[in-house]
Structure 1
């Protein structure tokens, strides 16, 4: 199956759906039928029962009918795959019997990314689906109070730069309607309030405007500033941060576009220290960071070339760069699985293809809110 095959399965508005094909296309969905849920929030039963209800609610909803063909693809697969990681994240308390699936949204986005990547779904469409899955519950809690404690205005402003809030709200509404829950009516009100606040902020279907990029980055990183008034940022280095799985072409891109710039690389640091991949990684990281700090102190431009495939890995690098007031561009690269594996077998490296495949389960594509600029594959 490939992207063209998936396109054929996107239902028309109001169409009676048959999801038997989906269990073959996405085998992980088979486990949903035997995965229990907290009966307080999901009295309808198992995760597959809920998923089918959600997809039906979505396809029969007004947002789906009003969407373009591309948006329907995004909405449909976001709804179909939104709980794909619940089997792997289910925890049942031995004493109380309470059922939880902590982290299923974030893990689900990664699982969906891997599956859709293997099917050749275009990058922008795939990431629109994965970004919805990663935060599909936020409209339930954004107004009433979220775990992170951020004001709802902050969440909506930030999310508007990461995805289309109209599509997020549509999936959230279908997710809530497609369940048997005593608090459903109140949650649907909160989703509508989420929509109204986004409209008030001028970012329902578009990114929230900011005075400039410096203000935008500072705000998303937690500065207590107003989006509409320029934030005076100190000047620092211009840094290009590479991101992408091994063998995705980062070194080639740097050689082609940044030949005159210094390059900070964990691989280079390992080589300078005479280490193999995986040996004393701490020493290589320490050397790379020290070299980067020296350039940052001098406000010199450079390239930070590493995989940076998870948000936590990028955060360590970005926190360092922003501490020195750097202006950051993330360049994200990727290739098909076949290309990655073929390239890796031809490289002079101790990193195996099996190791790259394990890395996929930490694969989080950079978000537009992480840097001043983020360049994605065309």
Structure 2
């Protein structure tokens, strides 16, 4: 198992003559064994006439190193961008589909790649903020290709740029997208490069190329990112409501301890407590436990009382249900994400009075989506070792 220090040492320093020869490819494959599968993973020859995923990956990294903007980055930014390029298609091996006429596609490989990269970098002990910067770039690495070409989500290019500026450094995203399109053989490279530059120009106009787009208030931002038709500079009127701290993280990551230390005076809504009150084992009649917890949350929200919602909330979909309920009552929501290393998680879980096995806990890792800043009024990413 490679450490984060060893992985960071793979990143080449900038040079006027940087090429793929500056990369220790054997070490990259040793650090990230999943990349070995890229050597035998095919791609659609129309968009990837260069061949397999590993060939494309090497070409992308080479294009990144030859980008003049690469030398202008800090060491941390170069680490983030290099590893994003190296791992941007890491999940193509597990998402490949062969359709009619032999057409090859890898639907969802960006989102799955972010999950895979998170687990590998978590195991290596990467700093949380930098790990998430890498994973977020992987998750959206192709968005600049299409932001102006079409609107796949039914939203404007302005919305896309504003939202992404809260999730990633758009300058790094632009560089990754340029390297991705230059690192392949396909017929529309020129048009895609134009789209990427338009994306960059819009980010400059919005004042968010290197920083999140400013909003009149956190409330405006939250409602805007949830689809409200309003301008970022418009300050919404806010009625007094609850302040809710929504906990997120794997079991045994230290959520209960953190709540006791920092908000021990607040009421707690907990699915675990609801299971205990109903005499249920972990995974047994989850609907009844959820119903009991939600009823308690609604009672506190109606009273406009502050409280902590303590649950795993591993996926954005599951968090969204809790956050949406709070927002429906006019609450201010802060997400607090807790995590710990694998040895710490397993040791703590083994010592707890719980029906959750270590094997089940580890199985939950494949659903682990760390919260984004666009999901609530505030976000903290914490490590509790």
TM category (shorter chain) comes to: over 0.9
3-state secondary structure, aligned to 2:246: strand
For residue 224 of structure 2, the aligned residue among 210, 214, 219 is 219
Secondary structure of 1:333's aligned partner: strand
Whole-Å separation in 1 of the counterparts to 2:101 and 2:302? 55
Q: Give the secondary structure class of the aligned counterpart of 2:317.
A: helix
Aligned position for 1:259: 264
Alpha-carbon RMSD across the aligned residues, in angstroms, is 1.0
Query: In structure 2, what is the equivalent of residue 3 of structure 1?
Result: 4
Q: Supply the distance in 2 between the matched residues of 1:60 and 1:358 (Cα, whole angstroms).
A: 40
Q: Say if 2:335 is the partner of 1:334.
A: no
Aligned mate of 1:149, from 151, 154, 160: 154
Q: How does 1:222-237 map to 2 (within 5 A)?
A: 222-237=227-242
- Residue 25 of structure 1 corresponds to which residue in structure 2? 31
The 2-side partners of 1:306 and 1:322 are apart by 17
- SS of 1:330's partner is strand
- 2:314 matched to which residue of 1? 309
Partner of 2:113: 108
1:44 aligns with 50
SS of corresponding position for 1:199: helix
Pairing partner for 1:192 from 172, 194, 197: 197
CA distance in 1, matches of 2:86, 2:170: 18
Kept in 2: contact 1:237–1:326 (CA 8 A): yes
1:62 to partner: Cα distance: 1.3
Shift of 1:234: 3.0
The Cα shift of 1:60 comes to: 1.2
What's the counterpart of residue 251 of structure 2? 246
Q: Which runs of 5+ in 2 are unaligned?
A: none
Unaligned runs of 5+ in 1: none
> What is the Cα deviation at residue 358 of structure 1?
1.0
Aligned partner of 1:76 in structure 2 is 82
1:372 partnered with 2:385: no
The answer as to whether partners of 1:239 and 1:301 remain within 8 angstroms in 2 is yes
TM-score (norm 1): 0.98
Distance 2:236 2:46 in 1: 46
Please state whether the residue corresponding to 2:247 is helix, strand or coil.
strand
Report the CA distance between 1:235 and its aligned residue. Answer: 2.8
User: Where in structure 1 do 4 or more consecutive aligned residues deviate above 4 Å?
Assistant: none
Distance, in Å, in 2 between the alignment partners of 1:216 and 1:281 is: 33
Shift of 1:49: 0.6
* 1:118 correspondence with 2:123: yes
> Residues 225 and 231 of structure 1 are in contact (CA less than 8 Å); yes or no, is this contact kept in structure 2?
no
Give distance in 1, aligned partners of 2:307 and 2:124: 36
Residue 319 (structure 1) aligned to one of 308, 324, 348: 324
Among 299, 308, 322, which residue is 1:294 paired with?
Answer: 299
Q: Deviations for 1:306-332, whole angstroms, at most 9, x for unmatched residues?
A: 011111111111111111111001111
Q: TM-score, normalised by structure 2?
A: 0.96
Partner of 2:209 in structure 1?
204
Q: Does 1:343 align with 2:348?
A: yes
Equivalent in 135, 139, 147 of residue 134 of structure 1: 139
Deviations 1:98-156 (A, max 9, x none): 11111110110010000001111111111110010010010101112232111010111
* 2:10–2:24 Cα contact (<8 Å) kept: no
* Aligned residues between the structures: 377
Counterpart Cα distance in 2 of 1:278 and 1:7 = 39
1:162-177 alignment runs, 5 A limit: 162-177=167-182
Q: State the distance in 2 between where 1:105 and 1:134 align.
A: 5
How far is the alpha carbon of 1:8 from its aligned partner? 1.6
Secondary structure, aligned partner of 1:190: helix
